[in-house]
Structure 1
Protein backbone atom coordinates (compact mmCIF):
# COMPACT_ATOMS: atom_id res chain seq x y z
CA UNK A 1 0.00 0.00 0.00
CA UNK A 2 1.37 3.41 -0.97
CA UNK A 3 0.64 6.80 0.51
CA UNK A 4 -0.77 7.98 -2.81
CA UNK A 5 -3.44 5.28 -2.56
CA UNK A 6 -4.48 6.67 0.81
CA UNK A 7 -4.57 10.20 -0.65
CA UNK A 8 -6.74 8.98 -3.52
CA UNK A 9 -9.13 7.25 -1.12
CA UNK A 10 -9.38 10.20 1.28
CA UNK A 11 -10.02 12.63 -1.58
CA UNK A 12 -12.83 10.48 -2.99
CA UNK A 13 -14.45 10.27 0.45
CA UNK A 14 -14.22 14.03 1.02
CA UNK A 15 -15.39 14.98 -2.47
CA UNK A 16 -18.12 12.26 -2.49
CA UNK A 17 -17.43 11.87 -6.20
CA UNK A 18 -14.87 10.03 -8.31
CA UNK A 19 -15.12 12.74 -10.96
CA UNK A 20 -14.53 15.64 -8.56
CA UNK A 21 -11.75 13.74 -6.80
CA UNK A 22 -10.01 13.09 -10.13
CA UNK A 23 -10.19 16.80 -10.98
CA UNK A 24 -8.77 17.78 -7.58
CA UNK A 25 -5.97 15.21 -7.89
CA UNK A 26 -5.28 16.22 -11.51
CA UNK A 27 -5.56 12.65 -12.80
CA UNK A 28 -8.00 10.95 -15.15
CA UNK A 29 -11.09 9.29 -13.72
CA UNK A 30 -10.50 5.69 -15.00
CA UNK A 31 -7.01 5.35 -13.43
CA UNK A 32 -8.39 6.72 -10.15
CA UNK A 33 -11.20 4.17 -10.17
CA UNK A 34 -8.69 1.38 -10.82
CA UNK A 35 -6.47 2.51 -7.95
CA UNK A 36 -9.45 2.50 -5.58
CA UNK A 37 -10.39 -1.00 -6.74
CA UNK A 38 -6.79 -2.19 -6.20
CA UNK A 39 -6.86 -0.74 -2.70
CA UNK A 40 -10.08 -2.60 -1.93
CA UNK A 41 -8.57 -5.82 -3.29
CA UNK A 42 -5.44 -5.35 -1.20
CA UNK A 43 -7.48 -4.73 1.94
CA UNK A 44 -10.01 -7.44 1.12
CA UNK A 45 -12.98 -5.16 1.90
CA UNK A 46 -15.41 -2.86 0.11
CA UNK A 47 -14.67 0.76 0.92
CA UNK A 48 -17.58 2.27 -1.04
CA UNK A 49 -21.18 1.28 -1.57
CA UNK A 50 -21.75 0.40 -5.20
CA UNK A 51 -24.10 2.43 -7.40
CA UNK A 52 -24.67 5.34 -4.98
CA UNK A 53 -24.66 9.01 -5.92
CA UNK A 54 -23.07 10.83 -4.20
CA UNK A 55 -20.43 8.24 -3.39
CA UNK A 56 -20.93 6.79 0.08
CA UNK A 57 -18.47 4.80 2.18
CA UNK A 58 -19.29 1.48 3.80
CA UNK A 59 -19.00 1.12 7.56
CA UNK A 60 -15.55 -0.43 7.05
CA UNK A 61 -14.69 2.43 4.69
CA UNK A 62 -15.58 5.04 7.30
CA UNK A 63 -13.36 3.31 9.83
CA UNK A 64 -10.50 3.09 7.33
CA UNK A 65 -10.96 6.76 6.37
CA UNK A 66 -10.37 7.94 9.95
CA UNK A 67 -7.09 6.05 10.16
CA UNK A 68 -6.02 7.02 6.63
CA UNK A 69 -6.41 10.71 7.55
CA UNK A 70 -4.29 10.18 10.66
CA UNK A 71 -1.57 8.41 8.66
CA UNK A 72 -1.43 11.19 6.07
CA UNK A 73 -1.43 13.86 8.78
CA UNK A 74 1.36 12.20 10.72
CA UNK A 75 3.36 11.73 7.52
CA UNK A 76 2.98 15.42 6.63
CA UNK A 77 4.00 16.41 10.14
CA UNK A 78 7.05 14.12 10.10
CA UNK A 79 8.09 15.40 6.67
CA UNK A 80 7.68 19.01 7.72
CA UNK A 81 9.63 18.49 10.93
CA UNK A 82 12.44 16.58 9.21
CA UNK A 83 12.80 19.31 6.58
CA UNK A 84 12.88 21.96 9.27
CA UNK A 85 15.53 20.16 11.29
CA UNK A 86 17.75 19.72 8.24
CA UNK A 87 17.36 23.34 7.19
CA UNK A 88 20.02 25.84 8.23
CA UNK A 89 17.69 28.83 7.80
CA UNK A 90 14.56 28.07 9.78
CA UNK A 91 11.29 29.57 8.58
CA UNK A 92 8.12 29.67 10.67
CA UNK A 93 4.91 30.20 8.72
CA UNK A 94 2.23 31.88 10.80
CA UNK A 95 -1.41 31.88 9.74
CA UNK A 96 -3.66 34.63 11.07
CA UNK A 97 -7.14 36.08 10.69
CA UNK A 98 -7.08 39.70 9.54
CA UNK A 99 -8.99 41.13 12.51
CA UNK A 100 -6.11 40.14 14.81
CA UNK A 101 -3.97 42.81 13.15
CA UNK A 102 -5.98 45.27 15.25
CA UNK A 103 -5.32 43.27 18.41
CA UNK A 104 -1.88 42.44 19.80
CA UNK A 105 -0.65 40.12 17.05
CA UNK A 106 1.69 42.70 15.41
CA UNK A 107 3.42 43.35 18.77
CA UNK A 108 3.77 39.60 19.38
CA UNK A 109 5.28 38.95 15.94
CA UNK A 110 7.63 41.93 16.22
CA UNK A 111 8.90 40.78 19.62
CA UNK A 112 9.33 37.22 18.33
CA UNK A 113 11.41 38.52 15.40
CA UNK A 114 13.59 40.66 17.67
CA UNK A 115 14.30 37.77 20.01
CA UNK A 116 14.85 35.19 17.26
CA UNK A 117 16.77 36.87 14.40
CA UNK A 118 17.84 33.44 13.11
CA UNK A 119 14.22 32.48 12.40
CA UNK A 120 12.51 33.74 9.26
CA UNK A 121 8.83 34.60 9.81
CA UNK A 122 6.28 34.37 7.01
CA UNK A 123 2.78 35.72 7.71
CA UNK A 124 -0.11 34.13 5.82
CA UNK A 125 -3.69 35.42 6.06
CA UNK A 126 -5.84 32.37 6.68
CA UNK A 127 -9.30 31.92 8.24
CA UNK A 128 -9.46 29.92 11.46
CA UNK A 129 -11.30 27.03 9.83
CA UNK A 130 -8.83 26.92 6.92
CA UNK A 131 -5.92 26.89 9.37
CA UNK A 132 -6.76 23.30 10.35
CA UNK A 133 -6.08 21.96 6.85
CA UNK A 134 -3.11 24.31 6.42
CA UNK A 135 -1.50 22.98 9.60
CA UNK A 136 -2.05 19.37 8.56
CA UNK A 137 -0.58 20.01 5.12
CA UNK A 138 2.44 21.89 6.48
CA UNK A 139 1.43 25.15 4.77
CA UNK A 140 1.56 26.94 8.13
CA UNK A 141 3.25 26.07 11.43
CA UNK A 142 1.20 28.24 13.80
CA UNK A 143 -2.32 29.59 13.50
CA UNK A 144 -3.81 32.59 15.31
CA UNK A 145 -7.60 32.52 15.04
CA UNK A 146 -10.91 33.36 16.63
CA UNK A 147 -13.18 30.32 16.22
CA UNK A 148 -13.71 27.37 18.51
CA UNK A 149 -12.29 24.49 16.48
CA UNK A 150 -11.92 20.84 17.37
CA UNK A 151 -9.70 18.37 15.55
CA UNK A 152 -7.72 15.44 16.98
CA UNK A 153 -4.65 16.44 14.96
CA UNK A 154 -4.64 20.04 16.19
CA UNK A 155 -3.84 21.45 19.63
CA UNK A 156 -5.69 24.68 20.32
CA UNK A 157 -4.53 26.98 23.12
CA UNK A 158 -7.01 29.61 24.26
CA UNK A 159 -5.11 32.85 24.83
CA UNK A 160 -7.83 35.34 25.60
CA UNK A 161 -11.57 35.99 25.51
CA UNK A 162 -11.83 39.37 23.79
CA UNK A 163 -15.01 41.27 24.54
CA UNK A 164 -17.25 42.40 21.69
CA UNK A 165 -18.52 45.93 21.27
CA UNK A 166 -21.36 47.44 19.29
CA UNK A 167 -20.37 50.02 16.67
CA UNK A 168 -23.04 52.64 15.92
CA UNK A 169 -23.17 56.09 14.34
CA UNK A 170 -22.70 58.82 16.95
CA UNK A 171 -26.21 60.14 16.12
CA UNK A 172 -27.86 56.69 16.28
CA UNK A 173 -30.52 56.32 18.95
CA UNK A 174 -28.50 53.52 20.59
CA UNK A 175 -25.56 55.88 21.18
CA UNK A 176 -27.25 56.86 24.47
CA UNK A 177 -25.98 53.52 25.88
CA UNK A 178 -22.32 54.32 25.25
CA UNK A 179 -21.61 54.72 28.99
CA UNK A 180 -24.08 52.25 30.49
CA UNK A 181 -23.67 49.43 27.98
CA UNK A 182 -26.30 47.41 26.16
CA UNK A 183 -27.69 43.86 25.98
CA UNK A 184 -27.99 42.03 22.67
CA UNK A 185 -31.71 41.59 23.32
CA UNK A 186 -32.04 45.35 22.80
CA UNK A 187 -30.71 45.26 19.21
CA UNK A 188 -32.55 42.32 17.57
CA UNK A 189 -34.83 44.71 15.65
CA UNK A 190 -31.92 46.71 14.21
CA UNK A 191 -30.18 46.28 10.86
CA UNK A 192 -27.00 44.46 11.83
CA UNK A 193 -24.06 44.09 9.44
CA UNK A 194 -22.49 40.64 9.54
CA UNK A 195 -19.04 39.83 8.16
CA UNK A 196 -16.97 38.41 6.51
CA UNK A 197 -18.21 36.54 3.43
CA UNK A 198 -15.37 34.00 3.62
CA UNK A 199 -16.26 30.28 3.76
CA UNK A 200 -18.11 29.38 6.94
CA UNK A 201 -17.63 28.90 9.82
CA UNK A 202 -16.27 32.41 10.31
CA UNK A 203 -16.75 35.45 12.55
CA UNK A 204 -20.29 35.93 11.24
CA UNK A 205 -21.32 32.43 12.30
CA UNK A 206 -19.62 32.93 15.68
CA UNK A 207 -21.72 36.05 16.28
CA UNK A 208 -24.85 34.24 15.14
CA UNK A 209 -24.13 31.45 17.61
CA UNK A 210 -23.97 34.00 20.46
CA UNK A 211 -27.45 35.23 19.59
CA UNK A 212 -28.66 31.61 19.39
CA UNK A 213 -27.07 30.78 22.75
CA UNK A 214 -29.04 33.65 24.27
CA UNK A 215 -32.26 32.51 22.56
CA UNK A 216 -32.33 35.59 20.33
CA UNK A 217 -33.16 35.89 16.63
CA UNK A 218 -31.96 39.08 14.89
CA UNK A 219 -34.58 40.20 12.38
CA UNK A 220 -32.22 41.75 9.85
CA UNK A 221 -28.67 40.44 9.43
CA UNK A 222 -26.92 41.93 6.38
CA UNK A 223 -23.81 40.09 5.19
CA UNK A 224 -20.93 42.19 3.84
CA UNK A 225 -17.45 41.31 2.62
CA UNK A 226 -15.27 42.39 5.54
CA UNK A 227 -15.06 44.48 8.72
CA UNK A 228 -13.99 47.75 7.04
CA UNK A 229 -17.04 47.67 4.79
CA UNK A 230 -19.32 46.95 7.76
CA UNK A 231 -17.91 49.83 9.77
CA UNK A 232 -17.97 52.15 6.76
CA UNK A 233 -21.67 51.45 6.27
CA UNK A 234 -22.32 52.03 9.97
CA UNK A 235 -20.43 55.33 9.69
CA UNK A 236 -22.83 56.23 6.88
CA UNK A 237 -25.82 55.65 9.16
CA UNK A 238 -26.92 52.43 7.45
CA UNK A 239 -27.05 50.17 10.51
CA UNK A 240 -24.93 48.74 13.33
CA UNK A 241 -22.34 45.97 13.71
CA UNK A 242 -20.61 43.89 16.35
CA UNK A 243 -16.82 44.08 16.41
CA UNK A 244 -13.98 42.75 18.57
CA UNK A 245 -13.00 45.38 21.12
CA UNK A 246 -9.56 45.88 19.54
CA UNK A 247 -11.14 46.83 16.19
CA UNK A 248 -12.41 50.07 17.74
CA UNK A 249 -8.86 51.36 17.22
CA UNK A 250 -9.48 51.46 13.46
CA UNK A 251 -10.58 55.04 14.09
CA UNK A 252 -13.35 55.45 11.53
CA UNK A 253 -15.17 58.77 11.74
CA UNK A 254 -18.65 59.27 13.24
CA UNK A 255 -18.58 56.00 15.17
CA UNK A 256 -19.02 55.31 18.85
CA UNK A 257 -18.56 51.97 20.56
CA UNK A 258 -20.95 50.54 23.13
CA UNK A 259 -19.97 47.84 25.65
CA UNK A 260 -22.07 44.69 25.36
CA UNK A 261 -23.20 43.47 28.78
CA UNK A 262 -23.97 39.83 27.93
CA UNK A 263 -21.24 37.57 29.34
CA UNK A 264 -21.47 35.41 26.22
CA UNK A 265 -20.49 38.33 23.95
CA UNK A 266 -16.82 37.61 23.44
CA UNK A 267 -14.51 36.36 20.70
CA UNK A 268 -11.96 33.71 21.69
CA UNK A 269 -8.40 34.32 20.51
CA UNK A 270 -6.45 31.08 20.20
CA UNK A 271 -3.15 29.68 18.99
CA UNK A 272 -3.28 26.39 17.08
CA UNK A 273 -0.38 24.01 16.40
CA UNK A 274 0.00 20.44 15.18
CA UNK A 275 -0.80 18.10 18.04
CA UNK A 276 2.54 16.28 18.00
CA UNK A 277 4.70 19.28 17.14
CA UNK A 278 7.51 19.73 19.69
CA UNK A 279 9.31 22.51 17.80
CA UNK A 280 11.38 24.94 19.85
CA UNK A 281 9.64 27.98 18.34
CA UNK A 282 6.35 27.12 20.09
CA UNK A 283 7.48 27.94 23.66
CA UNK A 284 9.30 30.97 22.22
CA UNK A 285 6.11 32.39 20.69
CA UNK A 286 4.21 31.61 23.92
CA UNK A 287 6.81 33.58 25.90
CA UNK A 288 6.31 36.55 23.56
CA UNK A 289 2.52 36.32 23.95
CA UNK A 290 2.79 36.33 27.73
CA UNK A 291 5.13 39.33 27.75
CA UNK A 292 2.99 41.41 25.39
CA UNK A 293 -0.17 40.58 27.35
CA UNK A 294 1.56 41.50 30.61
CA UNK A 295 2.75 44.82 29.17
CA UNK A 296 -0.81 45.58 28.08
CA UNK A 297 -2.11 44.59 31.54
CA UNK A 298 -4.19 41.78 30.08
CA UNK A 299 -4.68 38.61 32.09
CA UNK A 300 -2.46 35.91 30.66
CA UNK A 301 -4.28 32.63 30.13
CA UNK A 302 -3.01 29.83 27.98
CA UNK A 303 -5.47 26.93 28.19
CA UNK A 304 -4.81 23.83 26.13
Structure 2
Protein backbone atom coordinates (compact mmCIF):
# COMPACT_ATOMS: atom_id res chain seq x y z
CA UNK A 1 0.00 0.00 0.00
CA UNK A 2 1.56 3.28 -1.14
CA UNK A 3 1.17 6.70 0.45
CA UNK A 4 0.01 7.95 -2.94
CA UNK A 5 -2.92 5.53 -2.82
CA UNK A 6 -3.87 6.72 0.67
CA UNK A 7 -3.77 10.30 -0.58
CA UNK A 8 -6.04 9.40 -3.51
CA UNK A 9 -8.49 7.65 -1.19
CA UNK A 10 -8.55 10.50 1.35
CA UNK A 11 -9.11 13.08 -1.40
CA UNK A 12 -12.10 11.16 -2.78
CA UNK A 13 -13.60 10.98 0.73
CA UNK A 14 -13.08 14.71 1.31
CA UNK A 15 -14.31 15.84 -2.11
CA UNK A 16 -17.22 13.31 -2.15
CA UNK A 17 -16.69 13.01 -5.90
CA UNK A 18 -14.32 11.13 -8.20
CA UNK A 19 -14.50 14.01 -10.69
CA UNK A 20 -13.59 16.71 -8.14
CA UNK A 21 -10.92 14.50 -6.54
CA UNK A 22 -9.32 13.83 -9.94
CA UNK A 23 -9.25 17.57 -10.67
CA UNK A 24 -7.69 18.33 -7.31
CA UNK A 25 -5.09 15.57 -7.75
CA UNK A 26 -4.43 16.60 -11.37
CA UNK A 27 -5.00 13.09 -12.72
CA UNK A 28 -7.59 11.53 -15.02
CA UNK A 29 -10.68 9.85 -13.56
CA UNK A 30 -10.05 6.28 -14.87
CA UNK A 31 -6.64 5.87 -13.15
CA UNK A 32 -8.10 7.27 -9.92
CA UNK A 33 -11.03 4.84 -10.09
CA UNK A 34 -8.60 1.95 -10.68
CA UNK A 35 -6.51 2.99 -7.67
CA UNK A 36 -9.58 2.96 -5.42
CA UNK A 37 -10.68 -0.46 -6.72
CA UNK A 38 -7.14 -1.85 -6.24
CA UNK A 39 -7.13 -0.51 -2.68
CA UNK A 40 -10.46 -2.21 -1.94
CA UNK A 41 -9.11 -5.47 -3.40
CA UNK A 42 -5.97 -5.22 -1.27
CA UNK A 43 -7.97 -4.61 1.90
CA UNK A 44 -10.73 -7.06 1.00
CA UNK A 45 -13.49 -4.58 1.86
CA UNK A 46 -15.81 -2.11 0.12
CA UNK A 47 -14.81 1.44 1.03
CA UNK A 48 -17.57 3.40 -0.73
CA UNK A 49 -21.32 2.92 -1.07
CA UNK A 50 -22.10 2.02 -4.68
CA UNK A 51 -24.44 4.27 -6.67
CA UNK A 52 -24.41 7.08 -4.08
CA UNK A 53 -24.15 10.74 -5.15
CA UNK A 54 -22.39 12.45 -3.54
CA UNK A 55 -20.00 9.61 -2.82
CA UNK A 56 -20.32 8.23 0.69
CA UNK A 57 -17.99 5.93 2.61
CA UNK A 58 -19.11 2.65 4.09
CA UNK A 59 -18.70 2.18 7.83
CA UNK A 60 -15.36 0.42 7.31
CA UNK A 61 -14.42 3.06 4.76
CA UNK A 62 -14.91 5.82 7.35
CA UNK A 63 -12.87 3.79 9.86
CA UNK A 64 -10.04 3.37 7.33
CA UNK A 65 -10.19 7.08 6.41
CA UNK A 66 -9.39 8.10 10.00
CA UNK A 67 -6.21 6.03 9.93
CA UNK A 68 -5.28 7.18 6.43
CA UNK A 69 -5.44 10.82 7.54
CA UNK A 70 -3.26 10.08 10.56
CA UNK A 71 -0.66 8.33 8.40
CA UNK A 72 -0.58 11.15 5.83
CA UNK A 73 -0.36 13.81 8.54
CA UNK A 74 2.46 12.06 10.40
CA UNK A 75 4.34 11.56 7.14
CA UNK A 76 4.07 15.26 6.32
CA UNK A 77 5.26 16.17 9.81
CA UNK A 78 8.18 13.74 9.58
CA UNK A 79 9.32 15.22 6.26
CA UNK A 80 9.07 18.75 7.66
CA UNK A 81 11.05 17.88 10.77
CA UNK A 82 13.77 16.07 8.81
CA UNK A 83 14.07 19.06 6.47
CA UNK A 84 14.47 21.34 9.49
CA UNK A 85 17.10 18.97 10.86
CA UNK A 86 19.13 19.19 7.64
CA UNK A 87 19.08 22.97 7.41
CA UNK A 88 21.67 25.07 9.21
CA UNK A 89 19.68 28.15 10.15
CA UNK A 90 20.96 31.19 12.00
CA UNK A 91 17.48 32.21 13.11
CA UNK A 92 15.90 31.02 16.36
CA UNK A 93 12.11 31.26 16.16
CA UNK A 94 10.64 31.39 19.66
CA UNK A 95 6.97 30.67 20.23
CA UNK A 96 5.54 32.20 23.37
CA UNK A 97 2.40 32.69 25.41
CA UNK A 98 1.82 36.40 26.06
CA UNK A 99 1.51 36.12 29.85
CA UNK A 100 5.10 34.85 30.08
CA UNK A 101 6.37 38.36 29.39
CA UNK A 102 5.47 39.06 33.03
CA UNK A 103 7.63 36.07 33.98
CA UNK A 104 11.32 35.67 32.99
CA UNK A 105 10.83 35.41 29.23
CA UNK A 106 12.23 38.90 28.46
CA UNK A 107 15.36 38.01 30.46
CA UNK A 108 15.75 34.74 28.54
CA UNK A 109 15.35 36.44 25.16
CA UNK A 110 17.82 39.16 26.15
CA UNK A 111 20.32 36.48 27.16
CA UNK A 112 19.97 34.68 23.81
CA UNK A 113 20.57 37.85 21.84
CA UNK A 114 23.67 38.69 23.84
CA UNK A 115 25.27 35.27 24.31
CA UNK A 116 24.49 33.11 21.26
CA UNK A 117 26.81 34.28 18.51
CA UNK A 118 25.52 35.01 15.00
CA UNK A 119 21.94 34.04 15.83
CA UNK A 120 18.91 36.16 15.04
CA UNK A 121 15.94 35.81 17.41
CA UNK A 122 12.40 35.98 16.03
CA UNK A 123 9.39 36.02 18.37
CA UNK A 124 6.13 34.32 17.37
CA UNK A 125 3.07 34.68 19.62
CA UNK A 126 1.67 31.18 19.76
CA UNK A 127 -0.63 29.51 22.29
CA UNK A 128 0.66 26.34 23.96
CA UNK A 129 -1.92 24.26 22.09
CA UNK A 130 -0.60 25.48 18.72
CA UNK A 131 3.09 25.21 19.59
CA UNK A 132 3.24 21.45 18.94
CA UNK A 133 2.01 21.89 15.36
CA UNK A 134 4.22 24.96 14.85
CA UNK A 135 7.28 22.98 15.98
CA UNK A 136 6.46 20.11 13.63
CA UNK A 137 6.00 22.45 10.68
CA UNK A 138 9.17 24.41 11.44
CA UNK A 139 7.32 27.66 12.14
CA UNK A 140 9.04 27.86 15.52
CA UNK A 141 12.15 26.17 16.94
CA UNK A 142 11.36 26.36 20.64
CA UNK A 143 8.17 27.17 22.52
CA UNK A 144 7.46 28.59 25.97
CA UNK A 145 3.99 27.80 27.28
CA UNK A 146 1.78 26.89 30.22
CA UNK A 147 0.12 23.56 29.33
CA UNK A 148 1.39 19.97 29.52
CA UNK A 149 0.37 18.85 26.02
CA UNK A 150 2.32 15.73 25.04
CA UNK A 151 3.48 14.47 21.64
CA UNK A 152 6.08 11.76 20.89
CA UNK A 153 7.93 14.01 18.43
CA UNK A 154 8.23 16.90 20.89
CA UNK A 155 10.29 17.13 24.07
CA UNK A 156 8.75 19.21 26.83
CA UNK A 157 10.39 20.27 30.09
CA UNK A 158 8.69 21.92 33.06
CA UNK A 159 10.90 24.86 34.01
CA UNK A 160 8.88 26.11 36.95
CA UNK A 161 5.52 25.74 38.67
CA UNK A 162 4.06 29.14 39.36
CA UNK A 163 1.59 29.75 42.18
CA UNK A 164 -1.83 31.09 41.21
CA UNK A 165 -3.31 34.23 42.76
CA UNK A 166 -6.78 35.70 42.92
CA UNK A 167 -7.00 39.27 41.62
CA UNK A 168 -9.83 41.31 43.15
CA UNK A 169 -10.82 44.96 43.44
CA UNK A 170 -9.34 46.83 46.42
CA UNK A 171 -12.86 47.22 47.86
CA UNK A 172 -13.75 43.53 47.50
CA UNK A 173 -15.07 41.86 50.66
CA UNK A 174 -12.00 39.62 50.89
CA UNK A 175 -9.78 42.71 51.01
CA UNK A 176 -11.89 44.72 53.43
CA UNK A 177 -12.01 41.68 55.73
CA UNK A 178 -8.21 41.49 55.51
CA UNK A 179 -8.18 37.95 54.07
CA UNK A 180 -4.53 37.10 53.34
CA UNK A 181 -4.99 33.82 51.45
CA UNK A 182 -7.82 31.74 49.96
CA UNK A 183 -8.74 28.26 48.80
CA UNK A 184 -10.64 27.65 45.58
CA UNK A 185 -13.53 26.22 47.61
CA UNK A 186 -14.14 29.78 48.83
CA UNK A 187 -14.59 31.02 45.26
CA UNK A 188 -17.24 28.68 43.81
CA UNK A 189 -19.97 31.31 44.14
CA UNK A 190 -17.83 34.27 43.05
CA UNK A 191 -17.92 35.78 39.57
CA UNK A 192 -14.54 34.68 38.23
CA UNK A 193 -13.11 35.88 34.91
CA UNK A 194 -10.98 33.34 33.06
CA UNK A 195 -8.98 33.72 29.85
CA UNK A 196 -8.37 33.33 26.96
CA UNK A 197 -11.35 32.39 24.80
CA UNK A 198 -9.11 30.92 22.08
CA UNK A 199 -9.50 27.28 20.86
CA UNK A 200 -9.15 24.71 23.64
CA UNK A 201 -7.17 23.54 25.50
CA UNK A 202 -5.81 26.81 26.92
CA UNK A 203 -5.29 28.55 30.27
CA UNK A 204 -9.04 28.91 30.86
CA UNK A 205 -9.56 25.14 30.53
CA UNK A 206 -6.52 24.63 32.77
CA UNK A 207 -8.18 26.72 35.52
CA UNK A 208 -11.46 24.83 35.08
CA UNK A 209 -9.51 21.58 35.33
CA UNK A 210 -8.12 22.57 38.73
CA UNK A 211 -11.63 23.14 40.07
CA UNK A 212 -12.60 19.71 38.72
CA UNK A 213 -9.61 18.02 40.37
CA UNK A 214 -10.85 19.39 43.67
CA UNK A 215 -14.44 18.25 42.96
CA UNK A 216 -15.58 21.86 42.90
CA UNK A 217 -18.19 23.28 40.53
CA UNK A 218 -17.76 27.06 40.10
CA UNK A 219 -21.10 28.70 39.43
CA UNK A 220 -20.02 31.89 37.68
CA UNK A 221 -17.02 31.47 35.37
CA UNK A 222 -16.88 34.15 32.68
CA UNK A 223 -14.53 33.67 29.70
CA UNK A 224 -12.81 36.72 28.21
CA UNK A 225 -10.48 37.30 25.27
CA UNK A 226 -7.23 37.81 27.19
CA UNK A 227 -5.72 38.61 30.60
CA UNK A 228 -5.84 42.41 30.30
CA UNK A 229 -9.55 42.41 29.53
CA UNK A 230 -10.20 40.08 32.49
CA UNK A 231 -8.17 42.25 34.88
CA UNK A 232 -9.75 45.38 33.44
CA UNK A 233 -13.16 44.06 34.45
CA UNK A 234 -11.88 43.28 37.94
CA UNK A 235 -10.26 46.72 38.18
CA UNK A 236 -13.70 48.17 37.41
CA UNK A 237 -15.22 46.32 40.35
CA UNK A 238 -16.45 43.19 38.56
CA UNK A 239 -15.71 39.87 40.28
CA UNK A 240 -12.23 38.34 40.41
CA UNK A 241 -9.66 36.71 38.14
CA UNK A 242 -7.26 33.79 38.65
CA UNK A 243 -3.76 34.60 37.36
CA UNK A 244 -0.17 33.31 37.70
CA UNK A 245 1.96 35.04 40.34
CA UNK A 246 4.14 36.84 37.77
CA UNK A 247 1.06 38.54 36.29
CA UNK A 248 0.56 40.37 39.61
CA UNK A 249 3.10 42.86 38.24
CA UNK A 250 0.56 44.11 35.67
CA UNK A 251 0.18 47.76 36.56
CA UNK A 252 -3.58 48.20 36.73
CA UNK A 253 -5.23 50.41 39.32
CA UNK A 254 -7.48 49.19 42.12
CA UNK A 255 -6.21 45.59 42.09
CA UNK A 256 -5.24 43.46 45.07
CA UNK A 257 -3.75 39.98 44.78
CA UNK A 258 -4.44 37.12 47.18
CA UNK A 259 -2.44 33.84 47.02
CA UNK A 260 -4.43 30.64 46.43
CA UNK A 261 -3.27 27.91 48.82
CA UNK A 262 -4.50 24.70 47.13
CA UNK A 263 -1.58 22.49 46.10
CA UNK A 264 -3.20 22.07 42.68
CA UNK A 265 -3.26 25.86 42.14
CA UNK A 266 0.03 26.01 40.24
CA UNK A 267 0.66 26.84 36.60
CA UNK A 268 3.48 24.84 34.97
CA UNK A 269 5.79 26.88 32.75
CA UNK A 270 7.18 24.67 30.00
CA UNK A 271 9.74 24.76 27.21
CA UNK A 272 9.21 22.53 24.16
CA UNK A 273 11.40 21.65 21.19
CA UNK A 274 11.65 18.99 18.48
CA UNK A 275 12.93 15.62 19.74
CA UNK A 276 15.40 15.28 16.86
CA UNK A 277 16.69 18.84 17.15
CA UNK A 278 20.35 18.80 18.23
CA UNK A 279 21.26 22.37 17.29
CA UNK A 280 23.78 23.94 19.63
CA UNK A 281 21.51 26.88 20.46
CA UNK A 282 18.92 24.51 21.95
CA UNK A 283 21.55 23.18 24.35
CA UNK A 284 22.62 26.73 25.25
CA UNK A 285 19.02 27.74 25.96
CA UNK A 286 18.44 24.66 28.13
CA UNK A 287 21.70 25.27 30.01
CA UNK A 288 20.64 28.84 30.73
CA UNK A 289 17.21 27.69 31.92
CA UNK A 290 18.99 25.30 34.31
CA UNK A 291 20.95 28.28 35.64
CA UNK A 292 17.74 30.20 36.22
CA UNK A 293 16.22 27.24 38.09
CA UNK A 294 19.27 26.97 40.34
CA UNK A 295 18.97 30.67 41.21
CA UNK A 296 15.39 30.28 42.46
| Structure 1 unmatched ranges of 5 or more | 20-27, 299-304
C-alpha distance after superposition, 1:180-220 (max 9, x if no partner): 31000001101111111111111100000001111111111
Aligned to 1:206: 206
CA positional deviation for 1:38: 6.8
The 2-side partners of 1:55 and 1:106 are apart by 52
Which one is further off, 254-263 or 146-155? 146-155
For the residues of structure 2 that align with 1:123 and 1:93, how far apart are their CA atoms? 6
| Pair 1:68-2:60 in alignment | no
Give the match for residue 78 of structure 1.
82
Report the Cα distance in structure 2 between the residues aligned to 1:38 and 1:280, rounded to whole angstroms: 50
Please name the residue that 2:292 is paired with. Answer: 292
**Deviations for 1:24-50, whole angstroms, at most 9, x for unmatched residues?**
xxxx65424769767646754479554
Please say if residues 189 and 220 of structure 1, whose CA atoms lie closer than 8 Å, have aligned partners that are also in contact: yes
Structure 2 match to 1:94: 94
- Deviation per CA, 1:265-286, whole angstroms, max 9, x where unpaired? 1111111111222221111111
Does the Cα contact within 8 Å between 2:159 and 2:293 map onto a contact in 1? no
1:288 to partner: Cα distance: 1.9
> Residues 67, 188 of structure 1: CA spacing in aligned structure 2 closer, same or farther, 3 A cutoff?
same
Q: 1:49 to 1:128 in 2, by over 3 A?
A: farther
Matched, 1:147 2:147: yes
- In structure 1, the residue matched to 2:226 is 226
| 36-45 vs 192-201, greater mean Cα deviation | 36-45
**Based on CA coordinates, which of the two structures has the bigger radius of gyration?**
2
SS of the equivalent of 1:212 reads helix
TM-score norm. by structure 2 comes to 0.83
RMSD: 3.0
What TM-score, normalized by structure 1, do the two folds share?
0.81
Alpha-carbon distance in structure 2 between the residues aligned to 1:260 and 1:253: 21
List structure 1 runs of 4+ shifted beyond 2 angstroms.
1-10, 16-19, 28-71, 176-180, 290-294
Per-residue CA shift, 1:134-173, capped at 9, x if unaligned?
Answer: 1111111111111110112211111111111000011101
Take 2:9 and 2:160, find their aligned partners in 1: how far apart are those partners?
39
Number of aligned pairs?
Answer: 281
Of 168-177 and 130-139, more deviation after overlay is shown by 168-177
Are positions 1:31 and 2:28 aligned together? no
